[in-house]
Structure 1
Amino acid sequence: MKTGDQFAGDQLRLARLAHGFTLEELGLKVGMTRQYLHQLETGVKLGTSANVELLADVLGVTTYFFYQSAKLPVQPEQCHFRKQATTPVSITSQVLARGTLLDQLVERLDSALKLPPVNFPQHAIETAEDIEFAAEECRKHWNLGLSGPITNMMRVVENAGAIVGYFDGISERVDALSMDRRRPLIIRSEAKPAACRLRFDLAHECGHLVMHRGVHTGCRETEGQAHRFAGAFLLPRSAFAREFPRSRNLDWSAIFALKARWKVSARAIIRRAYDLGLITADKYRTGNIHLNKTGQSKVETLDDEIVAEQPELLDTIFRTLERGGSIALREIANGAGISDGMFEVLVGRRLPFAPIAETGNVVRLFSGIN
């Protein structure tokens, strides 16, 4: 990465947006006017050494951060938001800023360690049949078969090379999202979501990464496509059609047995049955009414019994480096201009206090387990 002697105002803006600060809010924290900060961000003025140190301290970056050449930020078409049309611009900007900085950190981690190779196949889709085919081909591509449940959806996306994280203070205001970068990023919508919802969200974002590269998403059409992919990936049509109970009325006992086996919500199960023509539109509508009337619109039966899957890749990376891997975690973060405060904002944990000596070895983290 090239660096220069001149203060880079766009780096200041990136760090400010990652924290969700307005110019006024940042000004109050550092004792500078909104106008002066705006001039710094637009390059009209250059920061003094004292001001740069103060800004770095408040924003949780190193002073070096402000003198880095700007890297390509995450673009809107690379970020697949759910409910994008109703997401406030301030939240969108904050997510894009954090995604850009997390991407830069991950790029340095990628250079230091042997992470799982990125392995998301690409499929062009136009029809529902195209989506079914894409989901089935992905299961084959990852050697998951078509006859049974996915054991661990988190490991599927992590073994395919994605980094799964959570942006505290933002994620709960948007649904799960993904960023199509050199190493894909998937951001969970909640720190501790229900297991079935998390699995469906991961499969949904997987659908975006497989079907929507370079496509602006967030509209009804693209979200519907990703939903269809998630259902098809988690509940392959042949196996699901064999197991779905056929009766005059919906057999809820059997449906919840399916939920326990496949770890997919009852609402998603009846939607899948409708998509495959196993139940009529009237029966599908009746099923949704039943779930709402029985207080299962958000929390369903068995949600407290199915254990949520946890991200493993980032924790493995951090544990390896903190034990004395090839390069100390703090050195890697600081190399990206990220210090304690920003590191915690991006990954939800603190940097170790002291750097660990380099060993010069390369550490392989990929287990290849689905």
Structure 2
Amino acid sequence: MADTVSVYGHRVRQARTIRHSPIKPLAGLLGMSPSAWSTLERSALYDMPRLRLRALAQNLGFPEDFFSKEPGKAIHRGSLLFRSKKSIKMAEVDALTSFAEMSYELLESLSEYATHPPLRIPPRIARDTSPEEAARATRAALDLPDEDPIPHVIHTVERAGIPVLMADIALPDARHDAYSVWGGDFHEQPLIVARPVNSWERVRWSVAHELGHLVLHRGTTGEVDEEEANRFANEFLYPSSVLRHEWPEAPTLTSLMPLKQRWQISLAALIKHGQNNHLIEDYRVSGLFKQLSARRDPNTGVTWRVQEPGWADQQPERPRLIAAMTERGMERSPSGELFSSLTGWAVDLMETIVAGQRSAPVVEQIKAKQSKGSLPGNVIALRRA
């Protein structure tokens, strides 16, 4: 047995950053200096003592073979597009970059067994195109009539050829809600990753916001205009042509609730959407946001600005494309062990992807009696998981 093993420096960086492990203590555990560790991560291939590799794999919770497997195409961290706070830390960006690289490797492995829908969003748009125009063009490309709300935003996005992952990779003090990126050899494959939260309207809006980044900011690196993605999301979820006809004469939180429920968009987004369409004066906008901050849920004590009324009326949307590719192409149920065997990445990280996927629609027997009498025993209900 050889005393050394050739490992890829980029694999070491991926494992360290996705585990959000600082260099100095990790290098110390393995008897290396921080500068030697940095040299390791920058190396294409690095001959590592086998015992040190074993310690590395144990400390980071990865299979030893992972570090010797050639990595897929690297993603520049500056190409990630965020719905996040401006104070996001670079360590978090590094971890999310590695997570995106892992996701693309999984998609590439699954594509050997099944394909996903072709990309249907508009191609590169002109720089002078407004976010609202881009959102309308996207709805048209996806055959979404202006008069109807989008029943399931994630399902719509995945049918448009954009994989969505719902995953929590246990980042301490995570500050992002969602992010997106263009990957592939020619930056032709988009991806959206969202954190799982318990607010259905927040999930829908975050995914629509990231779709806006993908349409508006393709090929952009570094800082992007978050307000443009905000406007895209509002227009995509609730076209202005309909908003102007349905907007109440005297908008209050109470009079806006029916619009929120029908179009499945938050009160906060509705207020901003109305303001951008000049349907509400600025002073009224300030007043409504103050009311959102002042009112509290009597059960939780949380303000409406943090958790709006109706937040628990339905389950948050979850993606299904990766699960469907696995079931259709491999005739197996998705699992962390299966995905780890395909990619070499750690099982627990793959389990976060599996946990974020929704199951196939199932047929359930109606058991509960309804208020107007019991239904026949052979009646079944179809429910989207």
1:165-184 correspondence runs (5 A): 165=165, 166-170=167-171, 172-182=174-184, 183-184=189-190
> Does the Cα contact within 8 Å between 2:201 and 2:266 map onto a contact in 1?
yes
Match of 2:201 in 1: 196
SS in 2 for 1:177: strand
Gaps of 5+ in 1: 350-368
Q: What is the deviation of 1:100?
A: 1.2
Between structures 1 and 2, the one with greater helix share? 1
Change (3 A) 1:296 1:324: closer
Q: Is residue 340 from structure 1 mapped to residue 347 from structure 2 by the alignment? A: yes
> Does the Cα contact within 8 Å between 2:83 and 2:206 map onto a contact in 1?
no
Match of 2:366 in 1: none
Change (3 A) 1:106 1:57: farther
Q: What is the deviation of 1:161?
A: 2.0
1:93 counterpart letter in structure 2: D
Q: What is the deviation of 1:119?
A: 2.5
Q: Is residue 316 from structure 1 mapped to residue 324 from structure 2 by the alignment? A: yes
1:98-137 correspondence runs (5 A): 98-124=99-125, 126=127, 130-137=130-137
> Does the Cα contact within 8 Å between 1:60 and 1:342 map onto a contact in 2?
no
Higher relative contact order (CA 8 A, sep 6+): 1
Change (3 A) 1:330 1:302: closer
How many residues are paired up? 338
Change (3 A) 1:66 1:307: closer
CA distance in 2, matches of 1:252, 1:79: 35
Q: What is the deviation of 1:27?
A: 4.3
Change (3 A) 1:210 1:306: same
1:69-148 correspondence runs (5 A): 69-83=70-84, 85-124=86-125, 126=127, 130-148=130-148
CA distance in 2, matches of 1:328, 1:244: 46
Among 225, 234, 237, the residue aligned to 1:234: 237
Could you tell which deviates more after superposition, 160-169 or 9-18?
160-169
Q: Is residue 296 from structure 1 mapped to residue 320 from structure 2 by the alignment? A: no
Identity rate, percent? 24
SS in 2 for 1:316: helix
Change (3 A) 1:39 1:233: closer
Change (3 A) 1:343 1:60: farther
Match of 2:158 in 1: 158
Q: Is residue 205 from structure 1 mapped to residue 205 from structure 2 by the alignment? A: no
Alignment TM-score, normalising by the size of structure 2:
0.78
Q: What is the deviation of 1:33?
A: 3.4
Q: Is residue 307 from structure 1 mapped to residue 306 from structure 2 by the alignment? A: no
Q: What is the deviation of 1:307?
A: 3.2
CA distance in 1, matches of 2:60, 2:329: 24
CA distance in 2, matches of 1:267, 1:328: 38
Q: What is the deviation of 1:300?
A: 1.2
State the 4+ residue runs in structure 1 displaced beyond 6 angstroms. Answer: none
> Does the Cα contact within 8 Å between 1:322 and 1:329 map onto a contact in 2?
no
> Does the Cα contact within 8 Å between 2:339 and 2:347 map onto a contact in 1?
no
Q: What is the deviation of 1:95?
A: 0.9
Match of 2:51 in 1: 50
1:22-37 correspondence runs (5 A): 22-27=22-27, 31-35=30-34, 37=37
Q: What is the deviation of 1:45?
A: 5.6
> Does the Cα contact within 8 Å between 1:116 and 1:161 map onto a contact in 2?
yes
CA distance in 2, matches of 1:175, 1:134: 22
1:210-359 correspondence runs (5 A): 210-216=215-221, 218-219=223-224, 222-247=225-250, 250-294=251-295, 295-319=303-327, 323-324=331-332, 330=337, 333-344=340-351
Q: What is the deviation of 1:137?
A: 1.2
CA distance in 2, matches of 1:293, 1:93: 37
CA distance in 2, matches of 1:176, 1:14: 20
Between structures 1 and 2, the one with greater strand share? 2
CA distance in 2, matches of 1:314, 1:50: 36
Q: What is the deviation of 1:177?
A: 0.9
CA distance in 2, matches of 1:59, 1:119: 39
1:311-347 Cα offsets, whole Å, 9 max, x none, are 222333455577548x998566434332424434665
1:184 counterpart letter in structure 2: P
Could you tell which deviates more after superposition, 48-57 or 286-295?
48-57
Q: What is the deviation of 1:126?
A: 4.4
Gaps of 5+ in 2: 296-302, 357-383
CA distance in 1, matches of 2:162, 2:40: 35
1:33 counterpart letter in structure 2: M
